[in-house]
Structure 1
């Protein structure tokens, strides 16, 4: 194997490159990234960077010298637009074709957008460093912000804006925010946190389009015909996996690059991070995880499998996913696969006080645990139980999850 091409220069792509070198791979590693920045950490964008707590110089995942020491063929500010799996080559936007022996697809996702928002000043998404810096600058002079979507990105943006003293309205189409992921009772508890901090959170509300005048945002129009004025609109309504450049290649695409338990989509082609929809044998299902920890772990796993390709040393990628979110004074942490659960119960603490651990059941097994306001060690111990496929009947004494205040 003479050249590995990694398309996507964020946490997953960098982890793959570092692990390849750490495993003794001496061939060429071409790392392609469409941003000009060195690989940087994304979770702080909607937290510490947006609030101004951090300067941007804290974001790089590695110092420039450490990147240079890897001996990479680094192609920053370059975009991949196609791949030929028969010829094993990647085409870049400037027409250059880069051959590979193995290809790692780590192109991530891009935010979904609303009609009327393209090119309008004051309309923001949060995905890149440039996105976060632009929003941070406008937050300094704004008074009214509308956040569309009460998922984790929207919730973190609302939390920062309230901390800066802005008037915040958050609009969410679902009756209970995040209920599809964490359950209705936990979702209601998190909803109350926003309202308790002065956010005008409205559920069951559909946004029709963003309104503007002379290129400046003025508000959002709702499906019922009402208008919500705004100086800033933050759109947090989910994302699209960046797979367009793979279309026509013959690679399996369905809500991401579809991969097997080894994160392999086709011979010599692997998926890493947010763009990969792989079979996790621990939970027996395909999953696509948009969390930084998963991207780094999958990048490392793919690199190890590449080095021992064709041997019995290859191992399936079967992690217990982990994510966290900081909102107001709350640290939210979760292990496992919470979506599609059959039951959720509070095993410690109190929903109303927003200090609790909730456990999630699917079938006869524990599949997840979520903690709010608890020390990391309190929820970390649940990771092992999830990895061991602990039977639900041996979970500690449980109490109903329906003790949250009404939304």
Structure 2
């Protein structure tokens, strides 16, 4: 049993600091740094402090996040001040400290995003912020929409070039780019506006402390990708195993993704359901289970292409491959319904309030869904889509195979005759 903590909780003060260093700090921030017995921060940030900050200076090790609890424990009982770039609670160290420390007091500074919006004259409420600090550049692709303004938080001096290359590759080469460096400091600089295509073709030296401003412009021949589920089928690389656009939109509607939720996508095929689940919100997560290794690799390529490189792909057969997965908020079964025990395993894994959606086009699997509907309730529907096609010199309808869909939410109060 862990002994109870004695005395009042220790408070960690987090001080935001900008490129202007000590002279840009407000008096309360200066006072806290002067009183601190321990000063923790990056080497660049610690070098900004004057001699009157007499506390022991401790540089963050790499990787940083695992070191947070260890450093706090090593200096327990001492007055600790942590330096952070700009606003510590905006993609900063403040979050990790709030999770680990007894108590946190935050003294923020204007973030680089606030400085950039002020320099550019961009209202912040109309700007999307994407961080590439410790994250793959491919995640930027999910934010690309014609006419949108983006502020991209850079990892280092190479980020602007990587952003330009991605924009060009995804058909947004005409987008306007500027790089803002050392915002708020004596060496502040903003590059001349250019297109992503031009930037990608030319070597542009950049300061490591930078933010990239992008005004998105889609090339005329680039496939348009909307912000809601139901992307064009042509957006995916596939071998025919693809939940088609209209059925996909209906399926995501039934799954009802919400921020922060985790989806199991079983029988991933081309990964379209999991990918569009994750595109609904940056915090949505998904695991795709696909037994075919070639298809699993294809899912990864589709995920990177469409801006959700964090999609986890498990190569294996369900239900065996489900045993080590984290508990889902929702489950989609798009293949393998006839595998013994699959539906029961998915149902057992769902928490209260979780959703399960299963699609099929075969009579054998349809019988399984009818039985599951009888036992658990929910909604059983048939989705039919027809496309207009040439018929001689005229136009007629070509019917796609109808899809039977079972959608259910797990609740605690079953109705008579249904185990919900």
Tell me the TM-score range normalised by the shorter chain: under 0.3
| Greater per-residue strand proportion | 1
Q: Please, what TM-score do these two structures have when normalized by structure 1?
A: 0.25
| Greater per-residue helix proportion | 2
More relative contact order, 1 or 2 (CA 8 Å, 6+ apart): 1
Structure ID, larger Rg: 2
Q: Please, what TM-score do these two structures have when normalized by structure 2?
A: 0.24
